[in-house]
Structure 1
Amino acid sequence: MTPDTTEGLRAIVADPAGAVIGLDFDGTLSPIVPDPAAARIHPDGPGVLARLGDLVGAVVIVTGRPAAVAVEYGSLAEVPGLVVLGHYGLERWEAGRLSAPPVHPGLARVRDALVPLVAGFDGARIEDKERAVAVHTRQSADPQLALDALREPVATLAAEAGLAVEPGKFVLELRPPGMDKGVALSAFLRERQARSVLFAGDDLGDLAAFAAVRASGLPGVTVFSGSSEIVVEADIVVNGPDGVMGLLRSIADSIGA
């Protein structure tokens, strides 16, 4: 590890009350699966996060999913002090309460227009997240070919509806502009007056959060839990949710020692 990475981990362990542990959900806490509705947290996840929640200043999940869905799929309702920022930060779940702005009016337009657009690509499917709509090509015969072919027409449709496109691994998500994981994480760090931060993620949407860690000026650590499908710069690389659980458990052990 680099000296900065070591400093970040030491700061978390030495002053856990000032630490924010930020985490993506899919690919980080939950394995990637063909059907997003079938995703569930790693079996050790609820216990590890509950332990961390008792030790650090805050545990926050920043996800593209609806916040309540992440809580349900993660069995996270009992994690002490947990905050879930859903839809890249548009929604906030905390202590059983959900707050969110009105649904963007452009989403109704793209819901109708995407159906015939995606119908021409065998295996491509639409996921309606209420405050966002995602097009998945992972189950196509050639996922990358389908994704590349859909990229331009989806971008055109999003622009006409006043929406942004968030690309990921075999997914294009249409969502309201002006918010991303970096904006959400930065605001949360200020809110909690964080003195150190760790963020773990696995996909392109997490790069903004990685940048926010670096821009925060705090002792910080970025953790990549993804696959070789994308290449990113991160302080620590782990093997999917198994690796994330191992790292978080090690941090908790060091704090509790």
Structure 2
Amino acid sequence: MVLKSPGTAEGAAGLAAILDRPQEASLAFDFDGVLSPIVADPGLSRPYPGVVAALGRLAELAGSVSIITGRPVADVLRLGELGELAALEHFSIFGLYGMQRWDWGSRSVVSEPALPGVAAARAELPGLLERAGLRGVSVEDKTMSVAVHTRRADQPQQAFEALREPLRELAGRHGLALEPGRMVLELRPPGIDKGHALEAIAEQHRVRAVAYFGDDLGDLAAFDAVERLREAGLAGLKVCSGSDEVPRLAERADLIVDGPPGVLEFVEGLNERLK
């Protein structure tokens, strides 16, 4: 199987370092849009066929493999069909942008304390959405954050734009940050992002190379982290699971693949080269 080559010198160096010393490399993946196709109802999300098995093989070859997602860890365990993968020592799940972590040793979820502002904002959301009069908008309660989805609205993009400022004002009043994504607006604690989670993984495993696979605006922070780690002397690779909805991520990537099928193809290519 041909392994797709990065389009930047830095990305090519990152991939070369992973291939040269896989046990000193950490590879991290977003869930939705990367391992799982985007669907209108987040509760119906499932991994792309074959991707979990491919990650399992990669986790046996690389220093560490992780999922870093905005979803709660429990969602990934329930929807991800991870099976034995969740029990591997070098596999980890960071949920809610790093506020939750799956501990393989105790088989339990370790969580940061939830901010009171999340509950306060959540309580105000029904009234705000009712006043907006937008049909098909849904709220996802993640306990430590709350997300408003517009993908099933009559006019998804218009609903997204109409809610952006009211939700930003609501988040600000309760000490939260508003983070936009692919037809979703999430209210969560400030200063928490996927980049910090990726850097924590790199430090924990003392790796010399990192790769991150993302598809949405929330993954820009992880791309930032890859660049900071490069400046610190590590090799790094930024992979965009291609989407016309998020051109900003593609512009920052070293390599663009064709959605979850492209992610699977790339991981399988890695596995072939590393075994």
| Pairwise TM-score range, normalised by the shorter structure | over 0.9
Pick aligned residue for 2:49 from 28, 43, 51:
43
> Which residue pairs with 2:269 in the alignment?
250
Distance 2:8 2:171 in 1: 41
Using the TM superposition, name which of 197-206 and 42-51 deviates more.
Answer: 42-51
- Tell me the alpha carbon deviations over residues 64-111 of structure 1, each in whole angstroms, 9 at most, x when there is no partner: 000121122112241122110100001000212210122211122111
- Tell me the alpha carbon deviations over residues 43-66 of structure 1, each in whole angstroms, 9 at most, x when there is no partner: 112210110010000001110000
Q: Does 1:97 align with 2:116?
A: no
Pick aligned residue for 1:166 from 137, 159, 179:
179
Indicate if the aligned counterparts of 1:45 and 1:74 stay in contact, CA closer than 8 A. Answer: no
Indicate if the aligned counterparts of 1:19 and 1:194 stay in contact, CA closer than 8 A. Answer: yes
Indicate if the aligned counterparts of 1:21 and 1:199 stay in contact, CA closer than 8 A. Answer: yes
Q: Give SS of 2:159's match.
A: helix
> Which residue pairs with 1:54 in the alignment?
60
Matches for 1:111-130 after TM superposition, within 5 Å:
111-119=122-130, 120-130=133-143
Matches for 1:1-257 after TM superposition, within 5 Å:
1-79=7-85, 80=88, 81-95=90-104, 96-119=107-130, 120-217=133-230, 218-231=234-247, 232=249, 233-256=252-275
Distance 1:105 1:242 in 2: 40
Distance 1:178 1:234 in 2: 23
Distance 1:67 1:78 in 2: 16
Runs of 4+ in 1 over 6 A off after TM superposition: none
- Tell me the alpha carbon deviations over residues 3-42 of structure 1, each in whole angstroms, 9 at most, x when there is no partner: 3222211110110110101100000000000000000111
Counterpart residue type for residue 163 of structure 2: L
Counterpart residue type for residue 227 of structure 1: S
Distance 1:199 1:78 in 2: 22
1:191 offset after TM fit, Å? 1.4
Distance 2:148 2:103 in 1: 29
Q: Give the aligned length.
A: 256
Counterpart residue type for residue 89 of structure 1: G
Counterpart residue type for residue 235 of structure 2: P
Indicate if the aligned counterparts of 1:59 and 1:83 stay in contact, CA closer than 8 A. Answer: yes
Using the TM superposition, name which of 76-85 and 194-203 deviates more.
Answer: 76-85
Distance 1:77 1:87 in 2: 21
Using the TM superposition, name which of 159-168 and 56-65 deviates more.
Answer: 159-168
Unpaired segments of 5 or more residues in structure 2?
1-6
> Which residue pairs with 2:3 in the alignment?
none
TM-score norm. by structure 2 comes to 0.90
Counterpart residue type for residue 113 of structure 2: P
Counterpart residue type for residue 70 of structure 1: V
Counterpart residue type for residue 239 of structure 1: D
> Which residue pairs with 2:4 in the alignment?
none
Distance 1:97 1:251 in 2: 30
Unpaired segments of 5 or more residues in structure 1?
none
